[in-house]
Structure 1
Amino acid sequence: MFFDLNVPIKKTIPRQSTGKKGKQAASEPAVNWVSAEIAAVEERIDLLIHLGYTVIGLSQTVNKKVDAKTHVNVLNQLVAQLRERPGIVYLKRLNIILDQDSEKGFGLINANVSLFHTYDLIALVPTTHNTFSLACLTHSLPSPLTAHIISLPLTLPRLPYHLKHTLTRTAIKNGAVFEINYVGALGGENDASLVEADAAENGPAAKRNWWASTRELVRVTKGKGLLLSGGVVIDGDLRAPRDAANLIAVLGVAQDAAHDASTKTPKSIVIRAQTRKTYRAVLSEAKVVVPGEATSEKTLKRLREDSQLAPIIPTKKQK
């Protein structure tokens, strides 16, 4: 099972109507996807499936801050209109580009929890040292607003911050991963939203920058906690998962780690991202065993076989 958790989707969001005093309307504006736009997305998904991907993350990008009054999830209606394909999973992802204006806050607050619950994945694209520190130390901690993916602007002429071992190790320890979009290695076109926000560049120079920055990322992380995605805008830049793994293997990543970057690691991220919607990142539902009610040996044996209760059900020797 191969994952591509970054398939950029571009859609113009209509402006919301305002009331008499300039307040935003209570109803969310409808996002109308025309048949041509749906057909283009369907064609790209068919190509991804042909290359071997089974889990596809459709991504929406916002700049600086997520404003609950104006933000619209354009992926909800898109996924609802896509053709069902057996064995294929669609995920909704939100990318937040962080710059100097985002240092004061970029919308990841408790008041907007319901807004972020409509997305399966949250990714941060830090472009300053302060926002990079926030992404690694604060927003990687388990919470309803955890951002499990930190996507670095690898195609810029120079990374806007130094990749410190303490920051990267802390983020990986907290369960976050650092994303590598292989589109930069090919010199392909990046997402227009990233380019407009000065978080990515296009052209031959961007290709050279990608190789230098990714080599530094691999050195600091020692090949651990890496997520390999596409970030591809043009269908001609799409590559099969094993071909993409060979790209980062050239940089010194072990073959098994390069394979895990598009299989095991994204799978764990998708599962871990589900904990944003649970209490304190608890995946399973807690079960209470009242002493005295389960007295028979058969009942105790059945409870001991339950992996969730095995550590707290004493055996005869423990008694």
Structure 2
Amino acid sequence: MQLGKNNLYLSMRYDLNVPWPSQAAQPVKTAQKALVLLHELGYTAVALNFIVAGKLKGVSSPFTDDVMHELQRSVPGVRILKRLTLVLDEQTQNQSFASIVSQFDIVAVQPQTEKTLQSAATALDIDLISIDMTARTPFYLRHKLACAAVSRGVRFEICYGSSLDGEGRRYTVSNAIAIIRATRGRGIVLSSGAHQLANFRSPFDAINLLTVWGLKSSAARDAIGVTARQAAVNGLLRAKSAKQAVIATVEDAESGRPTKVLRVA
């Protein structure tokens, strides 16, 4: 029996931005608490996000095999992904980009300038452009540039976590509206980006936030479902395809059935 469209939406629930608690005394235990809560809320896949600001030289992933095995044992029903977010404030960082990205399932860039936004949208081999939702953006996101990014498979991320804090609410809403305007509602991924357990929301609450900010309900559902999954699959193919046109078999985290996906680099 073919899975109905509404059931498909309900079966795919991704949070692609759970910040790795690097400053916590016990980061693995802290991450486990977040994963357990997200599992209880109904998410089927979660990306732990390692954020790097500054030079990449000497940086290594905290997601060792032992760490990932321990985390996965705590939530066997959730697919755990490894994500890198590079806070990009100068294009010279690009020189070390390839040296670390292979250690992660998803690679995102948080541009800080007009030039780094241009580079992320048109040149870098990444999966997500993540706008800082806690401050006024230092650039104007143009429709033409946003479309260029979406057309080559890069998704734009909106994080709702800061909208639940008094100081961050105003910037989160204005930045979300700007992203929706520039992309015309295409290629948007909704993530939590939450540093505190109290700021996580259920999939339906998160979808409702996006619709309040102006995104159509179908696109809002896709933002934690189909579109988020595309970003995750693109990340896998980015690492495996060696910039060639390939057909890869990707295990669907929800059904366990293999899904064929085409990526042309």
**TM norm structure 1:** 0.69
Task: Quote the Cα distance in structure 2 between the aligned partners of 1:97 and 1:279.
Answer: 24
1:16-62 C-alpha deviation (Å, 9 max, x unpaired) = xxxxxxxxxxxxxxxxx98x443322221110000000101011011
Task: Quote the Cα distance in structure 1 between the aligned partners of 2:27 and 2:115.
Answer: 37
Matched, 1:155 2:134: yes
What amino acid is aligned across from residue 118 of structure 1 in structure 2?
Q
Give the aligned partner of residue 64 of structure 1.
54
What amino acid is aligned across from residue 282 of structure 1 in structure 2?
A
Secondary structure of the structure 2 residue equivalent to 1:96 = strand
**What percent of counterpart residues are identical?**
29
Greater strand fraction, Structure 1 or Structure 2: 2
Give the aligned partner of residue 30 of structure 1.
none
1:164–1:37 Cα change, 3 Å: closer
Task: Quote the Cα distance in structure 1 between the aligned partners of 2:101 and 2:72.
Answer: 25
1:64·1:98 contact (CA, 8 Å) conserved in 2?
yes
Task: Quote the Cα distance in structure 1 between the aligned partners of 2:244 and 2:17.
Answer: 24
What amino acid is aligned across from residue 10 of structure 1 in structure 2?
P
What amino acid is aligned across from residue 53 of structure 1 in structure 2?
Y
Task: Quote the Cα distance in structure 1 between the aligned partners of 2:184 and 2:69.
Answer: 40
Give the aligned partner of residue 251 of structure 1.
213
Task: Quote the Cα distance in structure 2 between the aligned partners of 1:280 and 1:226.
Answer: 24
RMSD of Structure 2 on Structure 1 (CA): 2.0
- Offset at 1:185? 1.6
- Offset at 1:231? 0.5
Unaligned runs of 5+ in 2: 1-11, 249-259
Task: Quote the Cα distance in structure 2 between the aligned partners of 1:83 and 1:271.
Answer: 19
What does 1:6-45 align with in structure 2 at a 5 Å threshold?
6-11=17-22, 36-45=26-35
Matched, 1:173 2:151: yes
Task: Quote the Cα distance in structure 2 between the aligned partners of 1:256 and 1:51.
Answer: 20
Task: Quote the Cα distance in structure 2 between the aligned partners of 1:55 and 1:221.
Answer: 25
Matched, 1:52 2:42: yes
1:121 to 79, 102, 106: 106
Secondary structure of the structure 1 residue equivalent to 2:219 = helix
1:274·1:283 contact (CA, 8 Å) conserved in 2?
no
**TM norm structure 2:** 0.83
What amino acid is aligned across from residue 238 of structure 1 in structure 2?
F
- Offset at 1:281? 4.1
Task: Quote the Cα distance in structure 1 between the aligned partners of 2:237 and 2:244.
Answer: 4
Write out the 4+ residue segments of structure 1 that deviate beyond 3 Å after TM superposition.
106-110
Which deviates more from structure 2 when the two are superposed, residues 119-128 or residues 72-81?
Answer: 72-81
What does 1:188-199 align with in structure 2 at a 5 Å threshold?
none
Unaligned runs of 5+ in 1: 13-32, 140-145, 188-203, 286-306, 309-319
Secondary structure of the structure 2 residue equivalent to 1:184 = helix
Secondary structure of the structure 1 residue equivalent to 2:55 = coil
1:223·1:257 contact (CA, 8 Å) conserved in 2?
yes
Give the aligned partner of residue 227 of structure 1.
189
1:39-98 C-alpha deviation (Å, 9 max, x unpaired) = 32222111000000010101101112311xx11210124213224243321100001001
1:61·1:95 contact (CA, 8 Å) conserved in 2?
yes
- Offset at 1:107? 4.1
Task: Quote the Cα distance in structure 2 between the aligned partners of 1:136 and 1:42.
Answer: 33
Which deviates more from structure 2 when the two are superposed, residues 218-227 or residues 276-285?
Answer: 276-285
Q: In terms of Rg, which structure is larger?
A: 1
1:121·1:270 contact (CA, 8 Å) conserved in 2?
yes
Task: Quote the Cα distance in structure 2 between the aligned partners of 1:43 and 1:184.
Answer: 19
- Offset at 1:237? 0.6
Task: Quote the Cα distance in structure 2 between the aligned partners of 1:248 and 1:63.
Answer: 28
Task: Quote the Cα distance in structure 1 between the aligned partners of 2:131 and 2:174.
Answer: 13
What does 1:240-279 align with in structure 2 at a 5 Å threshold?
240-276=202-238, 277-279=240-242
Give the aligned partner of residue 294 of structure 1.
none
What amino acid is aligned across from residue 247 of structure 2 in structure 1?
S
Matched, 1:283 2:246: yes
- Offset at 1:273? 1.4
1:220-259 C-alpha deviation (Å, 9 max, x unpaired) = 1111110000101100111001101110101221111000
